[in-house]
Amino acid sequence: MPETVAKDQTTPVKLTIKDFQSDQDVRWCPGCGDYSILAQVQRVLPDLPHKKEDYVVVSGIGCSSRFPYYVDTYGIHGIHGRATAIASGVKIANPKLNVWVATGDGDGLSIGGNHMIHMLRRNLNIKVALFNNEIYGLTKGQYSPTSRIGQITKSTPTGVIDNPFVPVSLALGANATFVARSMDRDPKHLQEMVRRADKHQGSAFLEIYQNCNVFNDGAFFTWTEKDSRDTTVVYLEHGKPLVFGKQKEKGIRLNGFTPEVVNTTEGKYSVNDLLVHNEQDSTLAFILANMIHDPELPRAMGVFLAIDRTPYEELVQQQIAKAKAKKGEGDLQKLLDGDETWVIQ
């Protein structure tokens, strides 16, 4: 694990899932993937080394952004696209807080795309869970910046013609220090990714494939269904070769910079020929993210990148501490007086 352990290790009372369930009725459509994401987060939070009162969940606008209402922590349901900006202010004001952002592909990558990339490059110690359903749900079915070319939606009756973002690639391009992908239908993996994101000291970007069963049902079934995902998904594990398939008989090999699928049971290749995952290699992270463009390749799930870089809010505190050490605690009267004064009798 490349990350250092989270600093605040004191949990005075053992928290349970109930501590993170609010008194509000959950109002997502029945069958929505959001229910699973909420459940996994609520399951993980009690075990994390933070006080309940130190959690702040910030969101923007969209189905995913209702998330803060359903977890009993501090929270702000903000305005469309601005969750990462609001969260940045929360974290800079009080670096001790454990700040999460719940957002979606529209909120986080369309109207909020600018704030997202800038928060990631600054590396504020904020965790972003981006629920990607490749559609606008709350506004009832328009295409999003992750919708696929040709997709028929309410606002594209003849098919989407915009090239979509690959969220993981965007986060890597923004120099995020932690980038991961998971899915609503694999609770264990999702829980693990939430834990990993929490543990990371810096911005954590976690894309979660989420099924919108009303407006884009089955968009991710190729990769998320139990009977198919063994052959369509490769789970990334640090220091381990990329292996997948029902019998773990397949793997990913690098041919130059190009990944390809090989069979390790047919004699030509063995497990030793396979690509070994390294979470600290950003070049590799891009290669893995780009696998999405080749339909022959499995979809990568897990931690693409996890590297250390001092979080922004720590640097803010360091500069303040340095100025105080050098000039002493600021004296208001001295500041008001300025450098040059004169007295009138």
**Using CB under 8 A as the criterion, which residues of the chain lie in contact with other proteins when the complex forms?**
22, 24, 51-56, 58, 61, 68-69, 72-79, 82, 85-94, 96-97, 114-115, 118, 316, 319-320, 322-324, 326-330, 332-333, 335-338, 340-345
In the complex with other proteins, the residue whose CB is nearer, 18 or 268, is 18
Q: Cα 234 from chain centroid?
A: 19
> What does the alpha-carbon distance between residue 219 and residue 151 come to, in Å, rounded to a whole number?
10
Least gap, CB of 106 to other proteins (angstroms): 16
In the complex with other proteins, the residue whose CB is nearer, 13 or 188, is 13
Least gap, CB of 250 to other proteins (angstroms): 42
Q: Which residue has the tokens 């954590």?
A: 204
In the complex with other proteins, the residue whose CB is nearer, 163 or 341, is 341
Least gap, CB of 7 to other proteins (angstroms): 15
Please report, for residues 10, 19, 50, 99, the alpha-carbon distance to residue 15 in angstroms, rounded to integers and kept in the order given. Answer: 12, 6, 10, 18
In the complex with other proteins, the residue whose CB is nearer, 21 or 156, is 21
What is the DSSP code string of 222-276? Answer: HHHSHHHHHHHEEEE-TTSB-EESTTS-EEEEEETTEEEEEESSSSS--GGGSPB
Least gap, CB of 242 to other proteins (angstroms): 36
Q: DSSP secondary-structure letter at 61?
A: S
Burial of 264 (0-12, 13-18, 19+ CB in 10 A): buried
In the complex with other proteins, the residue whose CB is nearer, 76 or 168, is 76
Least gap, CB of 140 to other proteins (angstroms): 18
Least gap, CB of 151 to other proteins (angstroms): 29
In the complex with other proteins, the residue whose CB is nearer, 65 or 151, is 65
> What does the alpha-carbon distance between residue 211 and residue 37 come to, in Å, rounded to a whole number?
11
In the complex with other proteins, the residue whose CB is nearer, 38 or 297, is 38
Backbone angles phi, psi at 179, to 5 degrees: -135, 125
> What does the alpha-carbon distance between residue 1 and residue 289 come to, in Å, rounded to a whole number?
20
8 Å CB contact between 201 and 175: no
> What does the alpha-carbon distance between residue 143 and residue 157 come to, in Å, rounded to a whole number?
10
Least gap, CB of 113 to other proteins (angstroms): 11
